[in-house]
Amino acid sequence: TQLLEQSPQFLSIQEGENLTVYCNSSSVFSSLQWYRQEPGEGPVLLVTVVTGGEVKKLKRLTFQFGDARKDSSLHITAAQPGDTGLYLCAGDGGGTSYGKLTFGQGTILTVHP
Amino acid sequence: DAGVIQSPRHEVTEMGQEVTLRCKPISGHDYLFWYRQTMMRGLELLIYFNNNVPIDDSGMPEDRFSAKMPNASFSTLKIQPSEPRDSAVYFCASSLMAERGYTFGSGTRLTVV
């Protein structure tokens, strides 16, 4: 069973601060995705990373896939209250498990004005 | 594109009753997934289909749960009989390819009393 561990579980910061969320596993993933979920809604895809060492930027969000494709990080610069939500990483094991995503437990981010 | 459509949004039922959750995936997506989300266990994959065929149902808790996908535009998740521990938010998601990420519906919040 492939497991993804996210840290921290909770993050409460002030507007303007920077933060990093980590997603770690002992397993190799063919791709890894980050989602953001708001209360009462389903998760929404932010980014997919496929290549080891890959870095993708989405405005103030920077996503990195580890060289060994076992870990990833999400860095937010100058956080805003609109960034508040549940952030989830999810990995695709590939092979016979292609298409089947394993989700981390999530990081609840609260950005205070 | 209306996205993934789930119904109902909320369901309150008594223990022992049959519950049917419905999902219409995005047209053209050939993967469909049913997930369950709780505070304690996060997002758990219950079952997924590829081209209407069930591929992996190892996450289905027990025989009380069943899922069908009679055609490319419709799927159901049935719980019979329902129990209080089934209370959760159930999400349906569809995908064209794993690397392109999932599109989730808004979920069905199930409460079994």
Interface test with A, best of B43, B49, B94 (most A CBs within 10 A): B43
- Chain A hits for B33, Cβ within 8 Å: 101
Report the residue of chain B nearest A97, measured CA to CA: B56
The DSSP bridge pattern shows strands B19-24 and B74-79 to be: antiparallel
Interface test with B, best of A23, A50, A98, A102 (most B CBs within 10 A): A98
B14: amino acid identity, one letter: E
CB A89 within 8 A of CB A34: yes
> How far, in Å, CA of B59 to CA of A108, rounded?
25
pLDDT (tens digit, 9 = 90+) per residue, B14-73?
Answer: 999 999 999 999 999 999 999 999 998 899 999 999 999 999 999 998 899 999 999 999
| pLDDT at residue number B1 | 65
Backbone angles phi, psi at A95, to 5 degrees: 60, -130
CB B26 within 8 A of CB B94: yes
CA distance B40 to chain A (A): 9
pLDDT (tens digit, 9 = 90+) per residue, A22-33?
Answer: 999 998 998 899
Dihedral class, residue B66 (left if φ above 0, else alpha if ψ from -120 to 50, else beta): beta
Written as six digits, the tokens of B11 are 């369901």
A93–chain B Cβ distance below 8 A for any pair? no
Whole-number percent of chain A with pLDDT over 90: 81
Residue A22, C-beta contacts closer than 8 angstroms, at least 6 positions apart: A6, A7, A71, A72, A73
DSSP symbol at A10: E
CA distance B45 to chain A (A): 8
pLDDT averaged per 10 residues, chain A (length 113): 88 97 92 94 94 95 95 97 96 75 94 96
Q: Helices in A1-113 by DSSP H: which ranges? A: none
Return residues 35-94 of B near A (CB < 8 Å). 35, 42-43, 45, 48, 50, 55-56, 91, 93
| pLDDT at residue number A30 | 87
Locus of tokens 């419905």: B22
- Chain B hits for A2, Cβ within 8 Å: none
> How far, in Å, CA of A55 to CA of A94, rounded?
20
Nearest CA-CA partner of B34 in B83, B75, B87: B75
